[in-house]
Amino acid sequence: MKLRPRPFEIRVADSVLEDLRTRLRRTRWPDQLAGAGWEQGTEREALRSLVGYWADRFDWRAYERELNALPQFKADIHGLGIHFLHRRAARGSGVPILLVNGWPSTFLEELALIPPLTQADGIAFDVVILSLPGYGFSDRPRDAGMTPRATAEILLDLMRGLGHERFLAHGSDFGAEVVTQLALAHPEHVAGIHLSTFDWRPYLGEKSRPLSAAERDYVEARERCGERESGYDELKSTRPQSLGYALNDSPAGLAGWMLEKWRSWSDCGGDVIGRFGADFLCAMLTIYWVTGTATSSARLYYEHRWNQPPLGADDHVGVPTAVALFHHNVAGEGVPPREWAERLFNVCRWTEMPRGGHFAAAEEPLLLAADIAAYAETLDVDVRSRPVVV
């Protein structure tokens, strides 16, 4: 397909920002049980502190200027305007790599990867970071059916339209799901994939081998973890619209819904604001708020659960796959054994990181970038291409 990217700048109206501040200042706070802390969800005083900062001290305009200094674009793909960044390697012809995040994140999570990937002394990369359909500044799907598999087709057309006929892809959270679907459907275009979160449930039906002892322990740990951690998933994959009314109307509610996951899923030692910084978290939340994408991003869970066919016995990702495991991915879930991943993937690199969590690109960008580069060094393919100049 012929892609016609157009430069994109973020311009949030003053009236939208003033309305946001007014809503934050008028938050009607619920009570909280004495001594409950974070056990039943986002702790009230921690959220009150962040909401106060968001309303009165966070400078969105300064963040907006920083973002607009980056090469941002939008392109029409499958009837949707897709927002993306495209940064070329600092020297020579770079290896094209697509970086894809998921929820509760935005393209901001991947920005810290740009310098180490594009300016590396060894293999340097041409980096593409996109906002998934229904996320951030990409358009919201108007009809049902935007499953991870359908989203993968958009990713393919974006990369090919930029001149990258063969490329690498890195994914975290739902981004890992989408790039996996891309590799399953189009191995001729995907030279390899790199995953920093691993939430797959491989095919375990007829003809599958019995679970190993390590796999059984992992499945049991996931089930125990799910008893406390999976409520958000059940709600978003069954009633995203009902949830959306609250998140689209209350910025404090949006912050409470997302902050708990940034704390629980990261290697922050319980201090989520100290780990990521109030400005970064407020910028992330502001993007969800000003684009009205809390509901549309939640629908991806529904689409994945009900509209995408499950994995079958013959599904296997044949392209070389690297898995970087950050142990604090989800509290209590544990680390999958390699044989669990090998049920679905052609695992050629397996790295257990010393620190970091679910949001690895924001938490430990140098560790993650180094692992991506080391993985690329092992690939016996030439994926360099002449991209479209945008």
Options 86, 170, 304, 358, the catalytic residue: 358
Q: Quick check: is 14 catalytic?
A: no
Q: Quick one: 210 exposed, middle or buried, by C-beta within 10 A (0-12, 13-18, 19+)?
A: exposed
- Residue pair 37/166 in contact (Cβ under 8 Å)? The answer is no
Q: Quick check: is 249 catalytic?
A: no
Buried b (16+ CB within 10 A) or exposed e, 49-61: ebbebbbeebebe
- Sign of the Cα pseudo-torsion (64, 126, 327, 345, in order): positive
What crossing angle do the helices spanning 148-161 and 174-185 adopt, rounded to 10°?
70
- For residue 235, which phi and psi values (nearest 5 degrees)? -70, -45
| Strand segments (E) across the chain | 6-7, 72-77, 80-87, 95-100, 125-130, 167-171, 190-195, 317-328, 345-357
Query: Which residues does 150 contact at the CB level (< 8 Å), separation at least 6?
Result: 303
86 bridge partner residues: 128
Q: CA 107 to CA 132: how far, in whole Å?
A: 9
Buried b (16+ CB within 10 A) or exposed e, 218-234: bbeebeeeeeebeebee
Query: Which residues does 373 contact at the CB level (< 8 Å), separation at least 6?
Result: 116, 117, 120, 122, 123, 125
Q: CA 229 to CA 333: how far, in whole Å?
A: 9
Q: CA 298 to CA 235: how far, in whole Å?
A: 9
Options 173, 199, 267, 371, the catalytic residue: 173
Options 76, 186, 302, 315, the catalytic residue: 302
Q: Quick check: is 173 catalytic?
A: yes
Q: CA 303 to CA 307: how far, in whole Å?
A: 5
Question: By three-state DSSP, how is residue 59 classified?
Answer: coil
- Residue pair 337/148 in contact (Cβ under 8 Å)? The answer is no
Which residues are identified as catalytic?
173, 302, 358
